[in-house]
């Protein structure tokens, strides 16, 4: 790969005049897996530029809520509006939202048959219809940003878990999304690799990205979150700014949960 | 001995002992490791010798190499036990290869073969560039060119009816058409069978189960003798074309099940990642899921290809003469009626079938190994 391309400045994407200051609006969502009521009347409003960290015991519906925001999961009742577009059965609305919302998974979910670079250029080329050269320039830009530009030609299996997750972040960023969803991005990483991924995410937060993060990394949450959300038993238990959330939790379940993970 | 320990010097790696590397060690371990192992080794060697020696004698040592008629291959004439009668093969070679294709037109077949090889070889060698163009030429353009070249009737080429075709030509045409047709059909059926649309899914399930539940012979019979009753009288479908359609549908159903196995092995996360990036159904399948799924089922697909290749011999039942059919027809020729003619013919046909199947399976093994390096899950 030519180095000039990777160093070429990628023009900042013009943030369109916001139709709405609200990035994500979840209104009274109910969802069942069979007879199991996994999301119970969940409502959450996320402003542009906000960074929400969702925590809570496993099985509480955190990931499911996140996955409703790009309709990887569907729901039975309620509305989800992302960037002013309501997600409906209509594939057009789904495609429109998915183009603007990046997602990072616990298991990375990189495409193992494609090189790191191809992982990054696939969606820009085939969803946005970007020419290969331009897509590669953007991919190099973001790979540099997550500090693994030298791995572009490798395959995912040749990278460590932390590197794979950073590629996954770069892959999502290559679509130049307005909102990023992180579904337990560090949960399947070895301890020594958690930091490199969190550092990348902190950098992203500094740049003003709207982020929704399901995570148990409380240090990270304190550092970047604008608001904390605690979910348990499919419902939102408590929403608050990090400082009061950690120092003076109000709900019993929040107290119990925090005492479990903070010592 | 104290309870604490601090290493002062790291141990460098050493060469392994003689007992675990090298040929003597290998023989020792793998062939003569124990009494039972030794007995098994000797017994296997004995069985192999008992099988191979007579075959070598028949094919090479006792074989008759020159002659012009049956008398040259008779034990009375030669004065010793007679093995294969190769002059028989030489005399019938053109038939075995081309059937009754007009002799002055055989160049068209050879040209088709040459074009096929010229396109196939670079496609099979990973280092050669322009794979996409090459694949389009081989899978898209070549079949059309081959069709017109072999059938004729255009560009001043003499029309050659398919009932004159025969021998290896027919075997290869059916196999090639079967492979080219069954893979796309199999992919569509496999995707359809996993579709969330009930009608599509049911159609695919019924289609696949129907063709899998019917023997190929029945399919061939039906295609040849029954189909015309169902088609309008003006529709005159060529006999070979009918067989080809039957073979493609039949092989497609099997291919679908093989490919479905691969689709099922792709983790859900791959679908989710593709969808989260905004890829639609066909792009997700084309760029993310199918490349991985097809790679996983290469052994199964090749298995089907080889089975298809050998199943082509069944077309004899509907009076189409493939290599084996042409062979059997020539046994009836009194000029070459000897006690060994039958065995010679089958030995020759067997060698051809084996050589082609073996090449296919070896190449598939190579592809499999190559694809699995560096991309292990």
Residue A13 has pLDDT above 70, yes or no: no
pLDDT digits (tens, 9 = 90+) for B208-264: 999 988 898 888 888 888 877 777 777 777 888 888 888 999 999 999 999 999 999
- Residue A3 has a pLDDT of 43
**Phi-psi group of B130: left, alpha or beta (phi > 0 → left; psi -120 to 50 → alpha; rest → beta):** left
Contact B269 A105 (CB under 8 A): yes
- Chain B: give the shortest CA distance to residue A103, in Å: 6
- Chain B: give the shortest CA distance to residue A26, in Å: 18
pLDDT digits (tens, 9 = 90+) for A162-185: 999 999 999 999 999 999 999 999
Neighbour count for residue B175 (Cβ, 10 Å): 22
Residue B59 lies inside a defined structural domain of this protein: no
Cα-Cα-Cα-Cα dihedral of A131, A133, A134, A139, to 10°?
120
B291 to chain A: which residues are within 8 Å by CB?
113
Q: Please give the Cα distance from B149 to B159 (Å, whole number).
A: 9
Neighbour count for residue B277 (Cβ, 10 Å): 29
Best of A91, A123, A159, A178 to substitute, by most chain B Cβ atoms within 10 angstroms, is A123
B368 to chain A: which residues are within 8 Å by CB?
none
B287 to chain A: which residues are within 8 Å by CB?
111, 122, 126
pLDDT digits (tens, 9 = 90+) for B93-152: 888 888 888 888 888 888 888 888 888 888 888 787 787 888 888 888 888 888 888 887
| Tokens found for residue B243 | 């067989």
- Chain A: give the shortest CA distance to residue B267, in Å: 9
User: Which of B270, B276, B375 lies nearest to residue A70, judging by beta carbons?
Assistant: B276
Q: Please give the Cα distance from B46 to B63 (Å, whole number).
A: 24
Residue A192, domain CATH: 3.40.50.300
User: Whose CA is closest to A110, among A161, A150, A63?
Assistant: A161
Per-residue H/E/C for chain A: CCHHHHHCCCCCCCCCCCCCCEEEEEEEEEEEECCEEEEEEEEEEEECCCEEEEECCCCCCHHHHHHHCCCCCCCCEEEEEECCEECCCCHHHHHHHHHHEEEECCCCCCCCCCCHHHHHHHHHHHCCCCCHHHHHHHHHHHHHHCCCHHHCCCCHHHCCHHHHHHHHHHHHHCCCCCEEEEECCCCCCCHHHHHHHHHHHHHHHHCCCEEEEECCCHHHHHHHCCEEEEEECCEEEEEECHHHHHHCCCCHHHHHHHHHHCC
Query: Residue B1 — pLDDT band, cuts 50, 70, 90?
Result: low
Query: Residue B377 — pLDDT band, cuts 50, 70, 90?
Result: very low
Residue B63 has pLDDT above 80, yes or no: no
Residue A6 has pLDDT above 50, yes or no: no
Best of B268, B269, B275, B278 to substitute, by most chain A Cβ atoms within 10 angstroms, is B278
Residue B97 lies inside a defined structural domain of this protein: no
Residue A214 lies inside a defined structural domain of this protein: yes
Best of A109, A127, A158 to substitute, by most chain B Cβ atoms within 10 angstroms, is A109
- Smallest CA–CA distance from A153 into chain B, residue: B374
Residue B209, domain CATH: 1.10.3720.10
- Residue B26 has a pLDDT of 79
Mean pLDDT of B255-282: 93
- Chain B: give the shortest CA distance to residue A67, in Å: 9
| Tokens found for residue B78 | 């030669």
- Residue A71 has a pLDDT of 92
Place of tokens 């994407």: A13
Residue B25 lies inside a defined structural domain of this protein: no
Per-residue H/E/C for chain B: CCCCCCCCCCCCCCCCCHHHCCHHHHHHHHHCCCHHHHHHHHHHHHHHHHHHHHHHHHHHHCCECCCCCHHHHCHHHHCCCCCCEHHHHHHHHHHHHHECCCHHHHHHHHHHHHHHHHHHHHHHCCCCCCHHHHHHHHHHHHHHHHHHHHHCCCCCCCCCCHHHECHHHHHHHHHHHHHHHHHHHHHHHHHHHCCCCHHHHHHHHHHHHHHHHCCHHHHHHHHHHHHHHHCCCCCCCCHHHHHHHHHHHHHHHHHHHHHHHHHHCCCHHHHHHHHHCCCCHHHHHHHHHHHHHHHHCHHHHHHHHHHHHHHHHHHHHHCCCEHHHHHHHHHCCHHHCCCCHHHHHHHHHHHHHHHHHHHHHHHHHHHHHHHHCCCCC
pLDDT digits (tens, 9 = 90+) for B355-365: 988 988 888 88
- Smallest CA–CA distance from A115 into chain B, residue: B375
Contact B273 A101 (CB under 8 A): no
Q: Please give the Cα distance from A56 to B58 (Å, whole number).
A: 78
Contact A102 B276 (CB under 8 A): yes
pLDDT digits (tens, 9 = 90+) for A106-160: 999 999 999 999 999 999 999 999 999 999 999 999 999 888 889 899 999 999 9
Instruction: Please give the backbone phi and psi of residue A184, each rounded to the nearest 5 degrees, phi first.
Output: 45, 60
Residue B68 lies inside a defined structural domain of this protein: no
Residue A138 lies inside a defined structural domain of this protein: no
User: Which of A67, A98, A113 lies nearest to residue B278, judging by beta carbons?
Assistant: A98
pLDDT digits (tens, 9 = 90+) for B67-84: 887 777 777 777 788 888
Mean pLDDT, chain B, whole residue set:
85
- Chain B: give the shortest CA distance to residue A82, in Å: 14
| Tokens found for residue B366 | 């190579």
Residue A139 lies inside a defined structural domain of this protein: no
> Cα dihedral sign for B20, B26, B27, B31?
positive
B372 to chain A: which residues are within 8 Å by CB?
none
Residue B150 lies inside a defined structural domain of this protein: no
- Residue A10 has a pLDDT of 45
Residue A1 has pLDDT above 80, yes or no: no
- Residue A108 has a pLDDT of 92
Q: Are strands A51-55 and A210-214 parallel, antiparallel or unpaired?
A: parallel
In contact, B265 and B296? CB cutoff 8 Å: yes
Contacts of A93 (CB under 8 A, 6+ apart): A85, A86, A87
Residue B6 lies inside a defined structural domain of this protein: no
Mean pLDDT of B267-292: 93
A157 to chain B: which residues are within 8 Å by CB?
374-377
User: Which of B278, B288, B376 lies nearest to residue A111, judging by beta carbons?
Assistant: B288
Residue A75 lies inside a defined structural domain of this protein: yes
- Residue B340 has a pLDDT of 81
- Residue B137 has a pLDDT of 86
The residue range of the domain holding A28 is 20-110+179-261
User: Which of A91, A107, A123 lies nearest to residue B269, judging by beta carbons?
Assistant: A107
Residue B65 has pLDDT above 60, yes or no: yes
- Chain A: give the shortest CA distance to residue B248, in Å: 29
User: Whose CA is closest to A199, among A185, A178, A188, A212?
Assistant: A185
B279 to chain A: which residues are within 8 Å by CB?
122-123, 126-127
- Residue B144 has a pLDDT of 86
Q: Provide the domain count of chain B.
A: 1
The residue range of the domain holding B249 is 165-344+353-372
B277 to chain A: which residues are within 8 Å by CB?
98, 122-123, 127, 171-172, 175
Is this prediction's pTM over 0.90? no
Contact A99 B278 (CB under 8 A): yes
Residue A227 lies inside a defined structural domain of this protein: yes
- ipTM for this model: 0.88
Q: Provide the domain count of chain A.
A: 1
């Amino acid at each position: 790969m030519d180095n000039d391309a990777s160093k070429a400045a990628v023009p900042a994407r013009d943030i369109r005049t916001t139709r709405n200051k609200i990035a994500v609006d979840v209104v009274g969502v109910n969802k069942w897996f069979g007879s199991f009521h996994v999301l119970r009347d969940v409502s959450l409003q996320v402003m542009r530029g906000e960074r929400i960290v969702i925590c809570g015991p496993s099985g509480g519906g955190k990931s499911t809520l996140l996955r409703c925001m790009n309709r990887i999961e569907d729901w039975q009742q309620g509305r989800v509006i992302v960037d002013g577009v309501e997600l409906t059965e209509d594939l057009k609305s789904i495609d429109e939202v998915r183009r603007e919302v990046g997602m990072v998974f616990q298991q990375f979910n990189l495409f193992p048959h494609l090189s790191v670079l191809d992982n990054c250029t696939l969606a820009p080329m085939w969803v946005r219809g970007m020419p290969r050269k331009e897509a590669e320039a953007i991919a190099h830009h973001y790979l540099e940003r997550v500090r693994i530009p030298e791995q572009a030609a490798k395959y995912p299996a040749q990278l460590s878990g932390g590197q794979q997750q950073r590629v996954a972040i770069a892959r999502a960023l290559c679509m130049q999304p307005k909102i990023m969803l992180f579904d337990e991005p560090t949960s399947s990483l070895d301890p020594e690799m958690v930091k490199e991924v969190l550092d990348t995410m902190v950098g992203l937060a500094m740049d003003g990205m709207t982020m929704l993060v399901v995570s148990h990394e409380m240090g990270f949450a304190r550092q970047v979150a604008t608001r904390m959300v605690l979910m348990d038993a499919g419902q939102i238990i408590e929403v608050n700014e990090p400082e009061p959330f950690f120092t003076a939790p109000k709900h019993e379940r929040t107290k119990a949960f925090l005492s479990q993970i903070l010592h | 001995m104290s309870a604490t320990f601090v290493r002062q010097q790291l141990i460098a790696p050493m060469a392994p002992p003689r007992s675990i590397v090298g040929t003597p060690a290998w023989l020792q371990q793998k062939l003569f490791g124990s009494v039972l192992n030794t007995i098994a080794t000797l017994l296997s060697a004995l069985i192999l010798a008992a099988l191979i020696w007579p075959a070598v004698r028949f094919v090479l040592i006792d074989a008759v190499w020159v002659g012009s008629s049956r008398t040259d291959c008779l034990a009375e004439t030669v004065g010793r036990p007679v093995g294969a009668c190769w002059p028989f093969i030489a005399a019938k070679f053109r038939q075995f290869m081309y059937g009754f294709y007009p002799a002055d037109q055989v160049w068209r077949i050879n040209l088709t073969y040459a074009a096929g090889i010229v396109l196939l070889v670079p496609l099979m060698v990973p280092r050669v560039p322009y794979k996409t163009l090459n694949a389009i030429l081989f899978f898209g353009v070549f079949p059309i060119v081959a069709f017109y070249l072999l059938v004729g009737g255009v560009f001043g080429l003499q029309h050659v009816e398919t009932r004159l075709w025969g021998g290896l030509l027919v075997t290869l045409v059916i196999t090639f058409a079967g492979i080219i047709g069954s893979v796309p059909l199999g992919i569509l059926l496999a995707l359809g069978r996993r579709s969330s649309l009930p009608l599509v899914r049911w159609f695919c399930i019924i289609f696949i189960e129907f063709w899998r539940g019917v023997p190929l012979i029945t399919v061939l019979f039906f295609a040849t003798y029954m189909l015309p009753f169902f088609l309008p009288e003006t529709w005159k479908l060529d006999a070979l074309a009918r067989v080809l359609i039957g073979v493609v549908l039949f092989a497609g159903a099997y291919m679908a099940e093989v490919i479905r196995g691969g689709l099922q092995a792709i983790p859900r996360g791959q679908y989710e990642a593709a969808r989260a990036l905004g890829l639609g159904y066909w792009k997700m399948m084309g760029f993310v899921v199918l490349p991985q799924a097809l790679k996983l089922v290469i052994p199964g697909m090749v298995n089907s290809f080889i089975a298809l290749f050998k199943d082509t011999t069944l077309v004899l039942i509907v009076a189409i003469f493939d290599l084996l059919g042409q062979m059997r027809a020539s046994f009836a020729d009194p000029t070459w009626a000897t006690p060994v003619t039958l065995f010679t013919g089958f030995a020759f046909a067997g060698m051809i079938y084996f050589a082609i199947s073996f090449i296919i399976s070896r190449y598939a093994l190579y592809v499999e190994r190559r694809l699995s390096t560096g991309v292990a899950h």
